[in-house]
Amino acid sequence: MADLELDAVGRLPWGGGPELTLHRVLVHMIGETHRHVGHADIVRELVDGAVGRRPDGGNMAEGDAAWWARYRDRLERVAKEASAHDR
């Protein structure tokens, strides 16, 4: 890929689909990777219980279990209200 221009055209080896530029394939793969990395991070958090960007979780808001429960409930309420407006 490093030797190709972004407007280089190719076809996927399966399916006989349309010709695609390297640019389009790269943008698609960035989006796919972004979605799946987010899923993997959620699974990792469920497995090891660690959250945040640093091993000590130091960039996360401080709060006891009751604070986090209230925060989660508020986010849930806001998400449901936003969802109701989409319908």
Where do the structural domains in the chain lie, given as residue ranges?
1-50, 61-87
| Residue that wins the pLDDT comparison between 80 and 85 | 80
* Amino acid letter for position 27: V
Whole-model pTM over 0.75: no
Residue pointed to by tokens 């279990």: 65
Q: pLDDT tens across 10-63, in order?
A: 988 776 778 999 999 999 999 999 888 888 888 887 887 777 777 666 667 778
**Is the pLDDT confidence value at 6 over 90?**
yes
Say what the pLDDT of residue 28 is. 93
* Amino acid letter for position 17: G
Residues 6+ apart with CB under 8 A from 22: 1, 4, 5, 6, 7, 8, 9, 10
